[in-house]
Structures are given as C-alpha cells and as structure tokens.
Structure 1
C-alpha cells in the first residue's frame, strides 16, 4: 500500500521587467502608479502584481516519488499555500494513494467537501485543491509509467497540440505587428490581443494586424471583462466585420445573462472559462460559449475534465487557459489539451514560457507552432527546486 507522506506548498514570487511584460499574460494593461506591489490596471477592472507570482505544490509518497502541481495564484500565493498547508495537507498525509483516475476523482471530491458547508466552494480554496490535484495526477502517471495525457486518453492522446500566440508586448502598432509577423513566420496562425486601451485603438490594431498578417490569420480579442451592456452589441458588430475568431471575457464572470444576450446579438463566438473553478460555477454561462477556457491551475485536471465534458455536450470547443505559470501548470495544460478531442488550440505566452523553462531540467518545447507533449511518465517535468527557491524574492 502506497501512502502520502508530505504535502508542501511553496509561494513563489519572481522579479520581472514590468515594462516588457505589459500587454502579455499577468499584466495585459498599463498599471497605475503606486507604492504597492499590487496595483490597479489603468483601464481594466482588476489588479495585477508587479512580479511573477504563483503557488507550487509538492506531494511526496512513501515510495520516494514526488509529484509537482501548481495553483493559478498571480496574486497573494501565500493564501492558496496556507489553504494547502492548514486544510488540505492534514486530509492527505498518511492516506492511501491509488494511481487511478477514479481514485483521483474521489480525492478531489473529498477535498472539495472539506469546506463546502462553510461556503468555500471557489476562489483560493479551489486554487489550492487544483494545485494538489495536478501533483496527484503527476504521481499517478509516474506510478503507472504513463504520461498524464495517456492516463486520460490512452492511445487517443496526441503527441502535439497547436498553439496560438497570446498577447503582444506594449509598443507602437508597427512594433506589435512586427512581433506578430515574427511568430507567423514560425508557423503561428492564431493571435489574441487584449482590449487594454480605447476601443478605437483596439480596432485600429486589429486592422493593422490584418494588413500585416494577411487574410488567413485568425485574430481573437480578450475584452478583459470590460464591456458595458449598452455598448457590447456595437463592439461585437465591429468584431463581426473584422471576422474575429472569438471574443473572450466580454463581461464579468457572474453576468451570465449579459453573455447570453450578446451571444444572440453578434456572430463572433464568445469564449470564457478562466474565472470558473468548477462545473457548478461555469454552468450558468456555458450555453452562451462556443469556446470554453478552463485554467488547470484553478480547476485541476479532475474538474477540468468534467468541464470539458459539458463543453462537448454543448458543442463548444475547449481552449485551455494558460496565464502566469511555471512548468507544472503549463505541462498539465499541454497533457490536458492533448487528451481532449475537441481542444483545437492551446494558449502560448512567450514571456511566461521563458520563465517556466528556466526552472525545468528539460525545457518544454514549442516547435512549428505546436506544443510538444512531454513523453516521460506523469507530467514529464523535473523542477530545478534548489534554483527556484534561490530565485524567490519576498
């Protein structure tokens, strides 16, 4: 009988060049001035960190195997880590570990149930559970000598997944177009830009990108929850005229009715999902979506698979969300997408990818605009733990 002997949560903060990161994952818009490390966006109704922050979870078995997971924690990762340390670890340490998806599902339900009657069915609680879940899938694959994607989908798992470019670094329109063209030359055909400034600037950038990239390029827009109900239809019709491939996060996550109305009013498909941690949270908005974007650092693989099943039943595609993340979270998204039949694309953030690979023994690979699925058992990664711990700055 194999047992869990340790669950360790590691809050991570890494320095980054905020100017270079602006316009990309974790900092899609210019931030307001201030003394705090966490600052309001100048245009988006959200706060962001000046740093690269996340929460790693390390689970160790009595047979010596170690699994790595990660919670999506771009702000205050200490909170998700405290949940893992104080609530989840005591429920897991000295319990039996069975490397089967059905056992992982049961474990997810047990952890979800620890605080359900206390009202903690989302937010940091689920982020912590998701980090643990990824680590347990990593261990299950290692024990079964299977990659996570093969553990999910057996021989149907794909060896690679098409990538789309997410975000364009800040700069002039010509500079941003050149950046996109460089990636188009590498084989990228789909590009997502953030609605981080005025509407007129967004539409001008879309037009210049179309001129620079040609008619075959797919252009998507992440609205960053900014749209107002009175203007949303007109905004959407502008995207219709420009043949946008999707409109992401048009409204706040809880505004299910607004999503439904907009989906009926425009032709551009709606996409969302990064803010929903369970099938229960996403259910009200799901009928309005043609692209569902679970973030594995918030849903885990276990609940992410259930959300993907709902998406399939609703004839929606699955586009896993990848934002600020290190190797465990990105590798989980790669395996997840490779195992899902209706996952045509996976998000690619070049600056995040670069940081993640700094702390992996064998770097993750993107070749010819395709994520290469790690082949070794589990998530297929080995974290440079000592180097990472030395780089953390609080």
Structure 2
C-alpha cells in the first residue's frame, strides 16, 4: 500500500498562512497521522527523528538518512556548543550547511546532557554552570543562552531549557525541578520571540507524579507554544510508568499542535506511544545498537555477535528495501561485528534506521486505514514467532 502524500489529504487543523503549521489528516483512537509544514520541508507524523548529536547521524551519510524516509534529524545543543561552537557554526553558515542536511532540524536544549555528562555542576535560578566533559572548560547555560545557541545553529525546532530528574526520585525533588523548568520555559519563550518559519517547544516535566505532570502541561499550554514535548521519561522507569504518564498528559495538550516524546525508544515503545497520541520521537537506540552488533528487523532484535550466525547465509530481511538488510548474509555481518570492522557498524546502523522508518511509515498507513491495533498486534506476533524459532534452534 502506498503511503498518501501529506499534501493529498484535506488540511484539517491547518492554517496556510502560518509558515509553521501542523495538521491532522486521520485519527484512530488517540493515534493520529498528519504533517508538520515548515519552510525547509514537511515532517510526516508520527515521525522518528534520527539522532545527529554532533552534526552527524553516526555511521551514516546524510543522503542515506534522507533516502530511508527521515524528514527531520536531531542535533544536540550541549555537544555543538562545546565543539565546534555556536558562533563558529553561524560563521560557517549554520548547522544545515555544515552537515549537509537540507531538511528540518530539531535541536534539544542541552539540559539533559548538562545533567548527565558535565562535571561540577551548579544549578540555580539563573541556569547551570558546569565543566565540559571534553576538556574541563567552564560554561554557563541559561535559558536565554540555550535559545541563543540554538538560533546560531539555525535549527528549525528549538527546545526550552529544562531540568530532567532521573527516576525514581523523591516527589519534592520532582516538584522543584518541574517548577524551575516552567519558569525557564517562560524565559525561553521571551528569548525566542518571533521567528517566522521556526518553532519553540515546551517540555512537560513532573516525573512519575500525575498531578505534577498535569500542572506542568497546563502551564505550558498557557504559553501558547508551537508544540509540546513530554520529557523526563526513558530515564530508568518501567515502560508501564512511561505509558501512564503519556495517558495522564495527553488530554491536557492541544489537539491542534504536535506532541513529542523525548528519548524514546524501542519499536514496542514507539507503537504503544503512537497509540496514545504521540506524534514525534527521537532515540539513539537504533544507531547505538548498530554499533554494538544488534539489528532491529521485522523478525525482532537479532544479536549478530552470537555464534549461531557464523554460517547463516540468510540476510537479515530478504523483503527489505534496504540493501544492508537484504544483500548481506548474517554470516558476513557476524564476521564484521566479531572483527570490529567499521563496515559492520555502518551496515547495521543503516538496517536499524531503515527498520525504524519502515515501522513509522507502517503506522502512518495503519492509522489512515483505521487499523493501528491490528498492525501493532501483527508486528508483535511476528517478533514473538521469530524469537520462539530462535529459541528452538538454540
């Protein structure tokens, strides 16, 4: 079945006079499919954004990423501010020209990396003072500076600076971080101002406390931003908690604006979150897994380090349109992985991103046809059958 072009459907919830616009073309329960329209291109939703942390999607050429069906990639403010630096990036023509990506780019604010990577952090109302994990140099990240850096990079969708608390955490600590993030969101909104064709998203925080999540969502909606992210998940909590927080927040987010679940996740996470109304995702999982010998396929997750693949002449997926999945034997991929050859990392990353984009395209078609639950069930059944066959063969 051919996926309909975003421009073919009737433009519900769409204002043609707005250079940044979101429309919903079809729904299936809370799930929806549609498009974000920006000057640099159209983002078909639900969308998976490959992570290009340091101006590169690791082990991939930009044209490969685009050919797989990715409409948007993610860059990281923290890493790019450290090297090559935002002012230098601006002098070089911005992140799009620098990395050879002409489509939309979303940049996260750098807050999560400051909290997780930097050393000697000091956080207060003004922002975060920290030392670089690269060379120990001192830096200060305020809400205003985060937006300034993202503007110098030239990103199309910019994220507010927030404080992300790892779970589990004490409710008092979760509440403190949530309220600080709300105050920072207001400062980011002011700093962002009006930028035609670009957008700033707020980030709903509140940990695993439903009342705090609702309060955060309602306060951010009052700021009338272009889109809203759900942050502070995929940080160690069980999947059931993540899904419960999505269900808590979703009714309080505008239906006419995109919803972005940050840092998620596995293919199963994506399907379950789309079913609950999420439009956008990013995660390092497919690229990181590829560099460590793990392949995501319609047969489930395959560990190419396992000796069982040493003489397996089958490809990862003979029906895939991706050459990495279709044209190389599992025996060859096993050899590359066990030999630490760079080509193995490249091929498995290519395969994984192809699978993720195919999964998103399949969900978009399923939502348009009103059969997302069937699609998700069939996908999980295929994974389970393949896993049972592998276990029986062991």
Q: Structure 2 length normalisation: TM-score?
A: 0.38
User: Greater relative contact order (Cα 8 A, min sep 6): structure 1 or 2?
Assistant: 1
What TM-score do you get using the length of structure 1 for normalisation?
0.38
